Structure 1
Amino acid sequence: MLPMRTATRTDYRERIVDVVAYLAEHLDRVPDLGTLAEVGGFSPFWFHRVFVAAVGESPATISRRMRLERAAWRLRTTRQPLVEIAFDAGFNDQAAFTRAFRNAYGATPGRFRSEHMPAHELPSISEIHFSPTGTPYRICLPRLEPIDMNIEYVTLEPRRYAYLRHVGPYPEIGSTFGKMADIAGPAGLVNDPEALFVGVYHNDPSATPPEELQSDAGITVSDTMVIPDELQIGTLAGGRYAKGVHKGSYSKMGESWMAFWSTLQTTDAKPRMESPFELYINDMETTPEDELITELYAAIE
């Protein structure tokens, strides 16, 4: 098993609040991820995934929103020139600031000021907002409930898989799996007793727009298996991996990945540049939903 610190939900909340407070206190510049990881006591290798999994937004997104909210508050409460407000909000010119502000608030900065529009808080999953009084920030962390997961080191041999590429939000990969199975079934790929469905996830969802995410809906195949032309062939790289296990509905997979990354960051493991993947151990059509087993893998040095 991996060596790990004892981590509690309260501990994680306090550490993430420390990071958010640091962001709020340094709105005039966006601290680098290494600095934020150090502030929260997180491993720099896993910090970004852990933060986004817990909060629902990246530090850059939060910082940008708070700068715009600060700009809106200053428009309402001060006579500071627009060009200065724009510069303080991180924009090099007033035109770019006007476009971003209008997209966020539905009004230009000048109209927002002249009509005394009341609200400066923008919609947010985390409910993290600019606070002009410096009072504690309201932080909603609904994703923070699962914290610990048993993780072990394993060494895997390289393994071929046949797949269809899915482009779009990861939770929507199910339809691509259906198309892949419609091809793999008649070709006999599912008849191999050692075959497993596999999902390979190539992009960090905390840093990539949902519509641009790329993943593979696949099935593992032997070296001698003949692959239909409609499917592509990939390889799960061999080497060391951190492995976790999710039990239950696939709809709860995100919570398990959050626990996986959160627990992994308490270790000394360093990532390798290989895509994380899931192996689906049993047949979802014949297995009760609460008994489904999915293995989670992340490559490590």
Structure 2
Amino acid sequence: MKKNRLKTLSLVLSSSSFLATGLSLAGPSRDYQQLPAIGKVEIKEVEPFVYCSLSRTGSFADIEAAVGELLQQMQAQNVFPMGSMIGIYHGDPTLSDPEQIQWEVGFPVNDQSLVQAPLQKKQWTFTTVAVGLHEGPYEKTGETILGLRQWLEDNGYVQNGPILERYLDADPAATSPDRLKTEIWLPCRKV
């Protein structure tokens, strides 16, 4: 991983609000509906993928430190990202004790990557996801997630996995907060 990439990604997380969705978690079949607050929602079939992550339990205030450690460990282990940075949120912060929330930060990686502790190599196995695009500050992604959850309920789906956020901007530090793009995936199934 190049030093500039490490610096850029560290800048991405200079605010403890990055990835802080504290308000809520998280192919052939395509259902669309326009939502006033979040725009288009699409049900997609996605391929499973391998990712490298650093897992944490507790406050989102630790995100900046976790991302710094993730980037340092990936560089030291010669593990190279194969896509956008991701955040994965297990459980529901709106219903859970914030100190018990489990979350991860990571990157998709080659399935042949050799990953050592404290990093973990995992596989995303949820293939049916509701996808929405959040455009704006990272600390407001919770609003989009709530909108996606409402869309699921209104359209006969239930969430059946953790929330995944993909951070799409190549250089978030150089992007106006109101133009930041975060793709949100909610694993789901039709009821």
Is the shorter-chain TM-score for this pair beyond 0.5, marking a shared fold? yes
The answer to whether the 8 A contact 2:32-2:41 is kept is no
Deviation at 1:286, TM superposition (A): 4.5
- Taking the aligned partners of 2:91 and 2:63, their CA distance within structure 1 comes to 14
SS, match of residue 96 in structure 2: coil
The answer to whether the 8 A contact 2:152-2:158 is kept is no
The answer to whether the 8 A contact 2:48-2:124 is kept is yes
5 Å matches for 1:36-51?
none
Aligned to 1:268: 156
Aligned to 2:124: 236
- Please report the TM-score for the alignment, with normalisation by the length of structure 1: 0.48
Aligned to 1:152: 42
Deviation at 1:210, TM superposition (A): 0.5
Query: Deviations for 1:200-223, whole angstroms, at most 9, x for unmatched residues?
Result: 111111221001101111111111
Kindly indicate which of the two structures has a greater share of residues assigned to helix.
Answer: 1
The partner residue of 1:281 within 165, 168, 173 is 168
- Taking the aligned partners of 2:130 and 2:175, their CA distance within structure 1 comes to 26
Query: Deviations for 1:60-82, whole angstroms, at most 9, x for unmatched residues?
Result: xxxxxxxxxxxxxxxxxxxxxxx
Aligned to 2:8: none
Kindly indicate which of the two structures has a greater share of residues assigned to strand.
Answer: 2
Deviation at 1:186, TM superposition (A): 3.7
Which structure has more relative contact order (CA 8 Å, sep 6+)? It is 2
- Taking the aligned partners of 1:213 and 1:149, their CA distance within structure 2 comes to 28
Shift >6 Å, 4+ stretches: none
Which of the pair has more CA radius of gyration? 1
5 Å matches for 1:56-205?
147-170=37-60, 172-190=62-80, 192=81, 194-205=82-93
The answer to whether the 8 A contact 2:130-2:148 is kept is no
Letter in 2 for 1:276: I
- Call closer, same or farther: CA 1:268–1:3 in 2, change over 3 Å: farther
* Number of equivalences: 159
The answer to whether the 8 A contact 2:166-2:183 is kept is yes
SS, match of residue 233 in structure 1: strand
Letter in 1 for 2:77: A
Deviation at 1:171, TM superposition (A): 5.8
- Call closer, same or farther: CA 1:180–1:231 in 2, change over 3 Å: same
- Taking the aligned partners of 2:120 and 2:186, their CA distance within structure 1 comes to 22
> Which consecutive residues of structure 2, in runs of 5 or more, have no partner in the other structure?
1-29
Deviation at 1:148, TM superposition (A): 4.7
- Taking the aligned partners of 2:94 and 2:39, their CA distance within structure 1 comes to 21
Letter in 2 for 1:164: L
Query: Deviations for 1:39-94, whole angstroms, at most 9, x for unmatched residues?
Result: xxxxxxxxxxxxxxxxxxxxxxxxxxxxxxxxxxxxxxxxxxxxxxxxxxxxxxxx
RMSD across aligned C-alpha pairs, in angstroms? Answer: 2.4
Letter in 2 for 1:2: D
- Please report the TM-score for the alignment, with normalisation by the length of structure 2: 0.72
Letter in 2 for 1:279: R
- Taking the aligned partners of 1:171 and 1:246, their CA distance within structure 2 comes to 21
- Identity percentage of aligned residues: 24
